[in-house]
A = this chain, B = another copy of it.
Amino acid sequence: MTSNEAKNISPVDEIKKLRLITAIKTPYLPDGRFDLRAYDHLVNLQLEQGVEGLIVGGTTGEGQLMSWDEHVMLIAHTVNCFGDRLKVIGNTGSNSTREAIHATEQGFAVGMHAALHINPYYGKTSTEGLRMHFKSVLEFGPAVIYNVPARTGQDIPTSFIEALAKDPNFAGVKECTGNKRIHGYSSQGMSVWSGNDDEAHDGRWEHGARGVISVTSNLVPGLMYDLMFGGGNIALRDSLLPLMSWLFHEPNPIPLNTALAQLGLIRPIFRLPYVPVSREKRREFVEIVEKLGLEHFKGATQIREMDDDEFHLVARY
């Protein structure tokens, strides 16, 4: 089902060069469907601040709570509206090889530039199973491999990544196990993106990371741009650490979702099993924003603590 006509087909090298990629939030309407106007607004803010690529439907974007048809639709929508200005990396990975193949094939057919592929979480598999899984999906186009053992329960071995790196569609790794691992991969010439915002500065300037696939850049894209392009900057890094720490005090994207609602950038709608952070933590976020400066939170014109009853949780959508 491959096509030679898909627009903006990216050589894998263009993916390898990206430095600042945002794992973009998916906002919702009160009935739980996508709020595309809010989404478009968020993406425009990203573009204005220099973000070069998006992960669509990542764990941050709650791909795990989407049906595949809405997931691929969101990829196609993003390509249609913004694909000429940034790289669209669809999170078409899955712990089911069938689903990963289906979504990846569809994603490239609608014009995405690259895929993000996870190892089979929860169900897990053997090394030979991993090999077959990734082989099945890498044939369709450029792929970033995602290693996050704290979510998957299974670390992708370095030797495995090193072998996979020979595949012409291998674009690099989003690595969450720390800068030491990143250092090892980048020394071998691989593109590696830090999956941990708090380690991204050091990863970039001391350990050879190509850049970051960031959650924080949903809120302060300009500051994350400076962090990746502006040269080593310990002061900037340290000023961002309280925000980054707050964003991961509960499983991501729980704090991010709450933050965007508090900033008035999205409606305060949560798809279960996500719920807002506690009132106390919302108050803490207000303080963080005020300290860092509301002007860095692009698009926001206010910051509010918000009451519990302002949030709306949806279970059926």
Given A65-B98, A101-B315: A273 and B76 interface contact (C-beta under 8 Å): no
Q: How far is the CB of A13 from chain B (nearest CB, A)?
A: 21
Which residues in B have their C-beta under 8 angstroms from that of A2? 36-37
The listed residue (B34, B64, B70) touching A96 by CB distance below 8 A is: B64
The listed residue (B36, B40, B95) touching A273 by CB distance below 8 A is: B95
Which residues in B have their C-beta under 8 angstroms from that of A177? none
Give the size range of A's interface with the partner. Answer: 35 or more
A68 interfacial contact with B, CB 8 Å: yes
Residues of A280-315 at the interface with B, using a CB-CB cut-off of 8 Å, are 313, 315
Given A95-B64, A101-B316, A273-B97: A33 and B1 interface contact (C-beta under 8 Å): yes
How long is the Cα–Cα vector from A86 to B120 in the complex, in angstroms? 32
With both beta carbons as reference points, the residue of chain B lying nearest to A276 in the complex is identified as B128
Stretch at the interface among A129-137, A208-216, A226-234: A129-137
With both beta carbons as reference points, the residue of chain B lying nearest to A126 in the complex is identified as B250
A244 interfacial contact with B, CB 8 Å: no
How long is the Cα–Cα vector from A83 to B110 in the complex, in angstroms? 12
Given A97-B315, A123-B59, A152-B122: A3 and B40 interface contact (C-beta under 8 Å): yes
The listed residue (B33, B35, B59) touching A122 by CB distance below 8 A is: B59
With both beta carbons as reference points, the residue of chain B lying nearest to A111 in the complex is identified as B80
Which residues in B have their C-beta under 8 angstroms from that of A29? 1
Q: How far is the CB of A312 from chain B (nearest CB, A)?
A: 13
Instruction: Say whether B65 contacts A68, CB under 8 Å.
Output: no
How long is the Cα–Cα vector from A59 to B251 in the complex, in angstroms? 24
Instruction: Say whether B126 contacts A251, CB under 8 Å.
Output: yes
Which residues in B have their C-beta under 8 angstroms from that of A19? none
The listed residue (B3, B33, B39, B128) touching A275 by CB distance below 8 A is: B128
Which residues in B have their C-beta under 8 angstroms from that of A33? 1
Stretch at the interface among A4-12, A158-166, A197-205: A4-12
Which residues in B have their C-beta under 8 angstroms from that of A101? 315-316
Which residues in B have their C-beta under 8 angstroms from that of A278? 128
Given A122-B64, A152-B122: A136 and B272 interface contact (C-beta under 8 Å): yes
With both beta carbons as reference points, the residue of chain B lying nearest to A97 in the complex is identified as B272
With both beta carbons as reference points, the residue of chain B lying nearest to A149 in the complex is identified as B153
A18 interfacial contact with B, CB 8 Å: no
The listed residue (B1, B69, B129, B133) touching A68 by CB distance below 8 A is: B69
- The 18 listed contacts between A and B (C-beta, < 8 Å) are A5-B81, A59-B122, A65-B98, A70-B106, A72-B72, A72-B73, A76-B79, A76-B111, A80-B83, A97-B271, A97-B315, A98-B316, A121-B121, A122-B151, A125-B251, A125-B274, A129-B274, A133-B272
User: Taking beta carbons and an 8 Å cutoff, which residues of A are in contact with B?
Assistant: 1-7, 29, 31-37, 39-40, 44, 59, 62, 64-65, 68-70, 72-73, 76-77, 79-83, 95-98, 101-102, 106, 109-111, 120-126, 128-130, 132-133, 136, 149-154, 250-251, 254, 271-275, 277-278, 313, 315-317
